[in-house]
């Protein structure tokens, strides 16, 4: 990565990523987290659920077994990226939209205050893929940050129209996005656009492949090279002004 990218990442200060399921953080911010850790910044990740329903084969992967496996996978993924601080919120996979905000928002705000977060990275309101858990987490972050007694910057993971066009066949083949998502951002409007160099991309791919219950099938179908190309950029924007 060039010096300008490194400088922009270090200017984010203490980074807290807040996500719905294990693997969200690696797909959307694996490079960002590794860069920040390498530069000496503090990185904390918060995960709402253990992703225990994240399998099309619940006979092979009953929820308890999958949850335990995904915990181990996430630990291995973090090790590849150098991330050492992680918190679980402990909600059931697929139920985040039904969680009472008065229960979860104070918990999340307490974590952000405890670690003195400077920047919180999460989903945009559309949840990137449209997943209801993702959208709920985005709302939680907005509410939690609004209630803090210090300014915290929110960054939303996003995608560019160019990326969506380039990988449209892959997205359609594997049903990655719900109709109408994601809400793309033109490159000129991004506040941070990381094009991962080969070494950093290798680490991100290792982190993703560590979460094999979620990634092995896709990597097998499209191949290592295509998978790496697909995850080689990370794009971020800021929340739209209220009342947009």
DSSP string, 78-95: HHHHT--EEEEEEEPTT-
Whether residue 79 contacts residue 30, with contact meaning beta carbons closer than 8 Å, is answered with no
Question: Residues near 3 by Cβ (< 8 Å), separated by ≥ 6?
Answer: none
**pLDDT score recorded for residue 29:** 98
Distance CA 82, CA 73 (A): 14
The per-residue pLDDT string of the chain (244 residues; one tens digit each, 9 = 90 and over) reads 778 999 999 999 999 999 999 999 999 999 999 999 999 999 999 999 999 999 999 999 999 999 999 999 999 999 999 999 999 999 999 999 999 999 999 999 999 999 999 999 999 999 999 999 999 999 999 999 999 999 999 999 999 999 999 999 999 999 999 999 999 999 999 999 999 999 999 999 999 999 999 999 999 999 999 999 999 999 999 998 864 4
Whether residue 52 contacts residue 70, with contact meaning beta carbons closer than 8 Å, is answered with yes
> Pick from 210, 161, 202: which is nearest to 25 by CA?
210
**pLDDT score recorded for residue 240:** 86
Whether residue 214 contacts residue 191, with contact meaning beta carbons closer than 8 Å, is answered with no
**pLDDT score recorded for residue 93:** 98
**Residue 13: strand, helix, or coil:** coil
Pick the CATH number of 3-237 from 3.20.20.10, 3.40.50.300, 3.40.50.10320, 1.10.287.3510: 3.40.50.10320
Question: Residues near 62 by Cβ (< 8 Å), separated by ≥ 6?
Answer: none
Tokens representing residue 186 in the block:
């033109």
Q: Where are the domains of the chain?
A: 3-237
Distance CA 101, CA 82 (A): 31
Q: pTM here?
A: 0.96
Q: Whose structure tokens read 């990523």?
A: 17
- Strands 15-19 and 43-49, sheet pairing: parallel
What dihedral do alpha carbons 172, 156, 100, 20 form, nearest 10°? 50
């Amino acid at each position: 990565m060039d010096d300008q990218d490194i400088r922009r990442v270090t200017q984010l200060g203490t980074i807290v990523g807040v996500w719905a399921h294990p693997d969200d953080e690696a797909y959307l911010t694996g490079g960002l987290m590794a860069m920040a850790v390498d530069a000496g910044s503090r990185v904390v990740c918060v995960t709402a659920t253990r992703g225990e329903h994240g399998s099309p084969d619940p006979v092979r992967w009953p929820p308890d077994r999958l949850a335990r496996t995904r915990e181990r996978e996430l630990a291995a993924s973090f090790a590849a990226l150098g991330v050492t601080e992680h918190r679980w919120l402990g909600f059931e996979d697929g139920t985040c939209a039904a969680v009472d905000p008065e229960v979860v928002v104070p918990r999340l705000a307490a974590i952000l205050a405890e670690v003195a977060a400077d920047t919180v990275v999460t989903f945009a309101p559309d949840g990137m893929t449209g997943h209801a858990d993702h959208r709920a987490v985005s709302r939680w972050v907005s509410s939690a940050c609004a209630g803090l007694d210090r300014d915290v910057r929110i960054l939303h993971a996003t995608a560019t129209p160019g990326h969506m066009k380039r990988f449209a066949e892959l997205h359609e083949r594997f049903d990655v996005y719900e109709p109408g998502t994601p809400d793309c951002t033109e490159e000129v409007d991004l506040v941070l656009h990381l094009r991962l160099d080969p070494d950093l991309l290798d680490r991100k791919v290792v982190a993703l492949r560590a979460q094999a219950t979620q990634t092995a099938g896709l990597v097998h179908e499209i191949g290592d090279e295509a998978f790496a190309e697909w995850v080689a950029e990370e794009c971020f924007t800021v929340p739209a002004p209220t009342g947009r």
